[in-house]
Amino acid sequence: MLLANLELEEIIDLSKTTSQLYGKTMERVSSALISKKKELLTALELAYGKILAEIRRELLQVASYICEVKTLTNTWEELRHKSAELTADRALPFRKRKFRDEEATTTSLTTVTEGKFCDR
C-alpha cells in the first residue's frame, strides 16, 4: 500500500499545483488528472522502479475513483482523508455484477444487514 499512498500524494500535489497556477476549479483539474493517470504511473516507475501489473491496476483504479468529480471534496484536508480511506480499502468501489432479480434483492439485503459492501 506504500505505492498507493505515493500515487495519491502525487495526484493531490499535482492537482493542487495545477489549480494554483491556472486558477482552475477542482472539477476541471480532476478531468485533467484522469487523462494523466498513466503519466503519473510512468513517473512513479522512473522514481521507484518497475511497478507490478497487479499494483498498476490497483493504482489506476484508485486514481480513477479519487479523480471522479462526485468524489472531490471542498478542502484539501478532506481529500487527503478520502485518500487515506481509499488506501485502507474502505471506500473502493465494488465490482458490478449482473444478478437475477431475486438474487439481487437477497444480495442487497445481506449487504445492508452486514453493514458493508460485498466484493465477491
What are the boundaries of each domain within the chain? Answer: 2-89, 94-120
- DSSP letter assigned to residue 52: P
Handedness of CA 25, 26, 31, 33 (dihedral sign): positive
Global pTM value = 0.26
The residue among 27 and 15 whose pLDDT is bigger is 15
Nearest to 61 by CA among 77, 37, 90: 37
Share of the chain above pLDDT 70, in %: 5
Per-residue pLDDT of 18-59, as tens digits, reads 555 545 445 555 555 655 666 766 766 666 667 676 776 776
The residue among 11 and 97 whose pLDDT is bigger is 11
Residue-level pLDDT at 63: 66
Of 5-14, 66-75, 106-115, least confident by mean pLDDT is 106-115
